[in-house]
Structure formats: structure tokens, C-alpha cells
Amino acid sequence: MILAQEENPPPGMEAVSWLLLTTLAITCFEDVVQCLRWYSYRWLIERYHYVLKSGCRLEQLQLEAADRIHRALATYTIVAWRLLWITYLARYHPDTPADTVLQTHEWQALYCTIHQTPLPPDVPPNLRACVRWIAQLGGFLARKQDGEPGVKTIWQGLRRLHDITQTWLLLSRLTTTSVKPDFIKKDVSNA
């Protein structure tokens, strides 16, 4: 049994008090610290499962074959991790450059879509702005009283961003190549 109590909580805040039961052998202070560290991750683990269930809608897949369930879970595990990482990185380190998380063509396509401009800036915007824009693609209204976007709207926005990015890449290849596709080189001189 481990009893951990906060001795000097911030003014106006209730002291943290955890009573933990464990089957692990506790033989020294470092063992206690390790158990407390693991317990402190509980909330983040719960958020991760929430992202899997609600953000990715894993339970709604209704897959019947075990191999399909395993493949879906393997895929959505990565998606849920990325959603959680992007969400919390944007909240706790908002000035992180967007190219830390998004590829150059992703943030450029996002910027140009949101701002209705054909030319992106030379420097990537910060991550907080990009996450809010991604959430807008997913239905987030971005009003002052709305707070930060949730994982559901970020997930929906990322799905839309993927399609937008693929179009961006296709169009950028057309404008940078000297060979035009057949539908553009059509000879209309006899018309």
C-alpha cells in the first residue's frame, strides 16, 4: 500500500492524496516513485482509450472476423496515438512549428485551404493554429467561447486534410512539370 499526499498544494487548491494498492514488491523509495509515476499516466491512458472508442469510433466497425479486428486495431492504435499526440502537443507547446508534426505539403495545403489563397507562407505556422484549422475542417467553429477542439473534430479534420493534401500534391505536380497531361495539350486549332 502506498499513501502519497501533497504537502504544499497551490493556494486555493485541494492537496492531492492517493492511496494505491499494488501487487508489486516495494522495497525502497525508488519503487514508490516508480508506482506513483505509473499511476500518474492513468489519465492519459484513459484519454487514449477514449480516442480509440469515440474519436476513431472503433466500436462502431462491427467487424466479425478476428483477423480484421486485429488489423483494424493495429491501424487505429497508430491513429489514436497520433491524434492524442497532436492534440496535447498543440495544447501544451502551442508555439511548436507545424512542420514538427505535419509534412510541408500538409501544412501548406491546410494553410491555403483555410485562408483561400494559392500561396502558402515561407515559414510554417505554429502547431496550435494548425490544429485549430484541422479541427475547422472537421466541423469545429473556432468561436472564442468554444475552447480547444476535441479529438473527434481533429480526427474528422485530419481525414479531410488527407484528401486536400492529395489534391494539393497532384496540382503542384501539374504546375511544376513541363509536360502537360493529355487533356491539357489537346489541339483545338481545327475547331
My answer on whether 17 and 68 are in the same domain is no
Chain centroid to Cα 13, Å, comes to 31
Structural domain including 106 reads: 57-176
The model's pTM: 0.77
My answer on whether 65 and 20 are in the same domain is no
The CATH number given to whatever domain includes residue 106 is 1.10.740.10
What pLDDT digit, counting tens, does each position of 147-185 carry? Answer: 999 888 999 999 999 999 999 999 888 777 655 555 444
The answer as to whether 131 is a domain residue is yes
My answer on whether 72 and 155 are in the same domain is yes
Number of domains the chain is built from: 2
The answer as to whether 191 is a domain residue is no
CA-closest candidate to residue 106, choices 95, 120, 87 = 120
The answer as to whether 184 is a domain residue is no
The answer as to whether 190 is a domain residue is no
Question: Tell me, what's the pLDDT at 191?
Answer: 47
Rounded Cα distance between 41 and 33, Å, is 13
My answer on whether 64 and 114 are in the same domain is yes
Whether the CB-CB separation of 26 and 2 falls below 8 Å is answered with: yes
Rounded Cα distance between 82 and 86, Å, is 6
My answer on whether 17 and 100 are in the same domain is no
My answer on whether 93 and 149 are in the same domain is yes
The answer as to whether 116 is a domain residue is yes
What pLDDT digit, counting tens, does each position of 17-65 carry? Answer: 999 999 999 999 999 999 999 999 999 999 999 988 887 778 888 888 8
Question: Tell me, what's the pLDDT at 57?
Answer: 79
Sign of torsion, CA 37 39 45 50? negative
- Which amino acid type is present at position 33? V
